[in-house]
Amino acid sequence: MDFLMFDFLEGEILLIDKPLEWTSFQVVNKVRHEIKNKLGIKKIKVGHAGTLDPLATGLLILCTGKKTKTIDQIQQLTKEYTGEIQLGATTPSFDLETGIDKNYSIEHLTESEITLAATKLTGKLSQVPPSFSAKKINGQRAYDAARRGEFLKLAPKEIEVYSFQIDCNALPQVKFKIECSKGTYIRALARDLGVETNSGGHLTALRRTKIGRYQVEDALTINQICTLIQDN
């Protein structure tokens, strides 16, 4: 990214390395606030091209001004993620947002069995989204209901997993790299890997590394992007 000449109103595509525990909305708000202060304006369009959960890190693409029209196009691009799944236990949220609700034996697990399960979860799939997701049912977010103990029935969604590579050298932790389509919930793949291996599973770490040709290696931290906006 060449930030020597910003033109936020005409439009910029900004690559952010989202920190842990920030929501995607918080990142957008922070960058919008910095741009408005810099330009001395009251309004500017800023949006992101694909949500990252608070417990995930990595590539978050922000678009400003007229470039917000490209958000839909960017969202259609293939995503790449790395992270870790813990087998032998489940959580209601399929990640670390909630505590373990059930433990399973992992004595039967072998690398070949886990590899076979990952293979079964590759290709075109009908995936049920997590109850702790932003999906709306009858006007309410699924995660709002789930946090009240009300688990809404979510319809399966067609997705595609192009590759699901695993590393079983530290069981019950399984490291992975996944390439997938828009709309894929990696937390749900962690759940499904646990189901396929009859061992339960939940996501313990997640990092988005690519969106199409955009790479996290080219992204800036929140502090770096704010400094560049102020110095532009």
Residues labelled catalytic:
53
The whole-angstrom separation of Cα 112 and Cα 109 is 8
CB atoms near residue 85 (< 10 Å)? 27
**Type of residue numbered 199:** S
CA-angle at 41, arms to 45 and 219, nearest 5°:
50
Could you tell me which residues are beta bridge partners of residue 220?
A: 16
Tokens standing for 150? 């009300």
Which of the 8 DSSP states describes residue 128? P
Could you identify the residue written with the tokens 């962690």?
190
**Any alpha helices (H) in 49-124, and if so which ranges?**
71-75, 111-120
Tokens standing for 99? 């505590």
Interhelix angle 222-231/24-39, nearest 10 degrees: 10
CB 154 within 8 A of CB 146: no
* 155 closest CA partner among 191, 127, 184: 127
